[in-house]
Structure 1
Amino acid sequence: MLSEDLDAASAAYRVGYQDASHFNREYKNLFGAPPMRDVQRLREEAIALPSQ
């Protein structure tokens, strides 16, 4: 989702889910945050990293 700028529904369908809300629930149960919140956090972390 992060590298290809996908929304959660598109990512869900790409990995075989027929129901995006089911993907969101399972992702949150596994990783502790909904997928788009996780992607947003990773984007913010990437921006905060000093460039090399």
Structure 2
Amino acid sequence: MVTKAANVETAAFEVGYESPSQFSREYARMFGTPPRRDVAALRLAAA
């Protein structure tokens, strides 16, 4: 999502989830933070 500038919805479908909300829930459960927050932080760090 950072290198392709993809949004969460696009990324969710690209990796096989049927629902962006399901992807966000599972991502947050695994990594402790929603994907949008991680992407925003990584984009800031790269800038």
Cα RMSD between the aligned structures? 0.7
- 1:44 matches 2:40: no
Count the aligned residue pairs: 47
Partner of 1:50: none
Specify every segment of 5 or more residues in structure 2 that has no aligned partner in the other structure, as ranges.
none
**Aligned equivalent of 1:20:** 20
Unpaired runs of 5+ residues, structure 1, are 48-52
Residue aligning to 1:9: 9
Q: So what's the TM-score if we normalise by structure 2?
A: 0.92
Aligned residue type for 1:40: A
Q: C-alpha separation between the residues in 1 aligned to 2:10 and 2:46?
A: 22
| Regions of 4+ moved over 3 Å | none
